[in-house]
Amino acid sequence: MSVDCAVHGDGHRLIAALSGDLGLGEVAELRVSLLKCLAEQPEALLLDLSRMTLSDPLALAVFSAVRRQAARWPGIPLLLCAPEPFTGTQLRGATYRSLPVFTTVDAARAHARLERHTLPMLSDDLLPIAGAARQARNVATDACVRWGLPELLAPATLIANELVSNVVDHAGTMMTLRVTLRPRYLQIAVRDGAAGEPVLNALPDATDTRGRGLLLVRATANSWGWLPTQDGKVVWASLRYA
């Protein structure tokens, strides 16, 4: 039996209500579903486990893995709502003590509300045309100047340029660029309408100025990655500031 993941909005948060029996066979599909929730970049992701049963306690490791991804990007809290007895007891044990577990959705919602803080963010919807990369550089420049991060101006504009150029050259879809200031990190993300993992190409000939894309992003960012969405993917990169 697969685990159903019904997602609905709760203000600026998302609630994913899980139902069905969770075993090791369901972990991969559930992980993808939760990563798609993270790709929406909500203020918080609440997992309602009240209608989920557990056939193998080892499968709970999927929540630790998704929480690690949430911490890397987009840097949002992942809160689990698991009533007693069995699932909640397992999650409150020593193995998963780092996971924030609440007995009800209302308790998790209240906690998320207390932690809520508005994060500076700039975004722009871009067409897959030659001028998109220039506009991406303008947005990244505006963000660094506005938030007093002159030391990140060069790397931020390079990353924004390469992420958007990659969409123009390979995906050819509408895209959304989002630059967000989070504690200790400036995050740059581009969402497009093409599914599938982005590919790191080999370095081109030294005389060729194109084709370096994600290799430059990887070399410049402190961390980078990608997540699937319902209709494509998000590629993201983080730059640390003092």
The residues, ordered by sequence, that sit 6+ positions from 228 with a Cβ below 8 Å of its Cβ are 32, 35, 36, 39, 195
Cα dihedral sign, 50-51-57-63: negative
Structural domain including 198 reads 121-240
Mean pLDDT of the chain: 91
Q: According to the model, what pLDDT value does residue 116 have? A: 63
Of 89, 115, 141, the residue that ends a domain is: 115
Cβ proximity of 69 and 35 under 8 Å: yes
140 in the same domain as 75 = no
In this structure, what CATH number is given to the domain that contains residue 67? 3.30.750.24
Mind listing the pLDDT tens digit for each residue in 102-125? 999 999 999 988 766 667 999 999
Among residues 140, 145, 119, the alpha carbon closest in space to that of 221 is found at 140
Mind listing the pLDDT tens digit for each residue in 174-198? 999 999 999 899 999 999 999 989 8
242 vs 182, more confident: 182
> Which spans in the chain are helix H?
27-39, 61-72, 86-91, 105-115, 132-146, 153-166, 213-220
Mind listing the pLDDT tens digit for each residue in 111-165? 988 766 667 999 999 999 989 999 999 999 999 999 999 999 999 999 999 999 9
Cβ proximity of 204 and 193 under 8 Å: no
Compute and round to an integer the Cα radius of gyration of the chain: 19
Q: According to the model, what pLDDT value does residue 203 have? A: 54
**Quick one: tokens of 202?**
């080999």
Cβ proximity of 46 and 10 under 8 Å: yes
pTM for the full model? 0.88
In this structure, what CATH number is given to the domain that contains residue 235? 3.30.565.10
160 in the same domain as 223 = yes
Task: Round to whole Å and give the CA distance between 34 and 48.
Answer: 12
133 in the same domain as 99 = no
